[in-house]
Structure 1
């Protein structure tokens, strides 16, 4: 590997470390939901707000990120984002109430724009032949973050029930969720320090008219004999732009007639990626797996497979994206997503729930469990009807706090089918639209408006994400799992049809060649 390729790889890995922190931040909360709900006595709506708080925060952050990335540069913006991660992790770990936890999680959402700026930066410093792989390091690091978070959560959960002296000294049984959220402080601080090493984006320097600095920056990631050619292409792209350089000018260009296909592609990618329900599954995985009747410990351990399979699938995508191209991976992956989440819906639709005398004996540690004798032998064909009956008999808090045990002893379903379908969905997402959306967004916009365009469509994606994450516990509570997942499948089908028509192959093309292909 030449020194310039090595540099490009090192810079991409450093920047992508932010995605690792993102992955931790997004998933660590999943292990704490049950304990946070008990400590602060949360309603399903409040649980949804805690889960979606980062998604709401990023809605505020992305417009500011667009401004900052253009005015201050990609590098400084990333360093500011790293500080937000640090403050959010500290505040969340020491949160004293629902509101304080919400606001610190919201602050963490301001840092979620790291993925957007990182994809922009890597797309601008990566050589053409390495661009797909290097941008995909974002999803790889995110997958590593997800996996690490599930492992950390499971380890802490196991220790919370231990009699070890240090567990008692730290009162881990009552503070475990705080340690889950606080562990993020370490990698966030490391990322902040490593960002000092990376050069400024050459594309941003050209946009600012600082050509000499751009050459110096580009020479670190391109062979010396190719630097001038790349600089000329960048300068030409800026000169041919219809944008005035202002945010309004860039928006005008983005919504111009010549950008119509790019606009359709970016919007569809942004919406469909989130309406797969992926983020909701990642965040609420332990709660959802409890409903399969796995029990709390098994539900937490099963989530580790989500992280591992997601990571392996992303690595596979990385190895194939510059060989087979973006289009076949996206189209094939979305088709498999539709099939897998439809099977999840089918599995939950076939489920039944029955309280037996033997089940009541096994659940004897639940206060007043004998009250369930009134529904012994009655079969419920819907999780909604069953939860409603349980709540009427035992009360909201008892059902909420003991849901893992209750579903383990009363649920009758093809848990293996649902679990395998969920894991297939995870694999398909991370093989296709998960990482490749960011690759495509980093490719399809010209230098002249990418500083606004990429954050804009990341904003749209984040808006949908926040909505999905907030509504998921409410949908599960009011519509049930079967209906929730079939809705996701229907939306993905629509997106698949649009992308099948408009998505062109961008493999092996320079950013300027891609724009010429899409805007002619």
Structure 2
């Protein structure tokens, strides 16, 4: 590996640390939901708001990111985003109320555009033959962040019940969820400092007419004899578009013009389908969902670690194959496996039954007023919704909610192994295909002149769907049940698969300019 390739990998890894912080921020909250709900006495709607707050925040951030990326540059905008992560982590850890926690989580959402901007930056810095691998480092670091978050949550959960002196000194039994959210401060600060080491995007410098500065940036990642060729390709790309001084409105007009029709269809479908797989909802609410399998709280938390590990391994495999087999076959194959796996999850929950027995009541003797459940001993419930409603009616909202893990462990009868394996298969398929490859494709299919608006735009669409899915998931689980919720996701992904099968083009091994020519030809 020569020094230019090493530099490209170094810059990509530094920028991709933002995805690690994103992964932590997105998943650390999953471990705290149970305790936050108890401390602030939250309803399902309020839980959904806490879960979707970052998704709501990013809806505002992405248009601002588009402006800042073009006005201030990719590097400076990334540094501003790092500051938002730091402030959000500090505020969330010390939040005194539901409302303040919501707003600090919302502030963290302003930083979620880090993934979007990072894919843009890496796509502009990386040589064509390395671009797929380097952009995929975003998903790798995100996967590492997810895994680290689940491990941290599980470790803190174990310590919360410990009699160790330092645990008592920190009052971890009551403040454990705050430590879960506060741990993010450390990597966020580190990322902010490391961002000073990366060069400015050569594509942005060309866009601003700073050709000499662009050559200096390119010299760090390209041999001297290839710099002029790259500069000329970028200049032609800008000149053939709406112009480097075009407004955001002009760039949007270009994006929605007839010549960009295929690009528009591909980008919109990717943005919507990626989120309607339900991936983010599963990641965020995993401990709660696993409790419904009857695993119990400790086992539910430990099982979530497999989500992070399998997701990371699948991403690494995808990284090793993306530039060999191409984007299209991996995306199409991954979506087929996603549909099969989440349909199986739906089937598993549909076959589940719930029954309170006398022996179960004895095992749950520590739950206040548990003997009231004698009223439904022997009655079999074929619906999780019906069973939850009966528990709430007998025990009360708070008791049924706070003790759900123990209750489901003793009363649920289902093929938990089938459901768990199907969920893990879904995680693997997502992280192998549309998870990382969507960002690779978005960084490739748009010309330089409108990339600063186009990528944030479709990330905005993706984030809108994500916020909607994350907010609705607790409500859907409460109103419709798990079986119906997951079959809805499977149906939407099927529609997306049909569209992408028709329109998605292969982009592997092509320069950004060659990709544009291929798309225009179609």
Q: TM-score, normalised by structure 2?
A: 0.99
Q: Aligned with 1:460: secondary structure?
A: helix
Q: Does 1:106 align with 2:106?
A: yes
| Aligned 1:31-430 pairs, distance under 5 A | 31-243=31-243, 245-430=246-431
Q: Does 1:436 align with 2:456?
A: no
Q: Does 1:484 align with 2:448?
A: no
Quote the Cα distance in structure 2 between the aligned partners of 1:324 and 1:423. 24
Quote the Cα distance in structure 1 between the aligned partners of 2:246 and 2:10. 31
Could you give the per-residue CA deviations for residues 177-216 of structure 1, whole angstroms, max 9, x where no partner exists? 0000000000000000000000000000000000000000
Quote the Cα distance in structure 1 between the aligned partners of 2:204 and 2:251. 14
Q: Aligned with 1:129: secondary structure?
A: helix
Query: Once the 2 structures are TM-superposed, how far is the Cα of residue 141 of structure 1 from its aligned partner?
Result: 0.1
2:7 is matched with 7
Query: Once the 2 structures are TM-superposed, how far is the Cα of residue 280 of structure 1 from its aligned partner?
Result: 0.1
Could you give the per-residue CA deviations for residues 261-317 of structure 1, whole angstroms, max 9, x where no partner exists? 000000000000000000000000000000000000000000000000000000000
Query: Once the 2 structures are TM-superposed, how far is the Cα of residue 242 of structure 1 from its aligned partner?
Result: 2.6
Q: Aligned with 1:353: secondary structure?
A: strand
Structure 2 residues without counterparts, runs of 5 or longer: none
Quote the Cα distance in structure 2 between the aligned partners of 1:499 and 1:218. 34
Query: Once the 2 structures are TM-superposed, how far is the Cα of residue 519 of structure 1 from its aligned partner?
Result: 1.7
Quote the Cα distance in structure 2 between the aligned partners of 1:426 and 1:256. 36
Quote the Cα distance in structure 1 between the aligned partners of 2:242 and 2:137. 32
Quote the Cα distance in structure 2 between the aligned partners of 1:399 and 1:356. 17
- RMSD, aligned α-carbons: 0.4
Q: Aligned with 1:328: secondary structure?
A: helix
Could you give the per-residue CA deviations for residues 404-430 of structure 1, whole angstroms, max 9, x where no partner exists? 000000000000000000000000000
Quote the Cα distance in structure 2 between the aligned partners of 1:432 and 1:151. 24
- Detail structure 1 runs of 4+ shifted over 3 Å in the superposition: none
Query: Once the 2 structures are TM-superposed, how far is the Cα of residue 341 of structure 1 from its aligned partner?
Result: 0.1
Quote the Cα distance in structure 2 between the aligned partners of 1:416 and 1:220. 51
Quote the Cα distance in structure 1 between the aligned partners of 2:101 and 2:5. 43
Q: TM-score, normalised by structure 1?
A: 1.00
Quote the Cα distance in structure 2 between the aligned partners of 1:492 and 1:64. 30
Q: Aligned with 1:428: secondary structure?
A: helix
Quote the Cα distance in structure 2 between the aligned partners of 1:507 and 1:145. 27
Quote the Cα distance in structure 2 between the aligned partners of 1:17 and 1:467. 26
Q: Aligned with 1:42: secondary structure?
A: coil
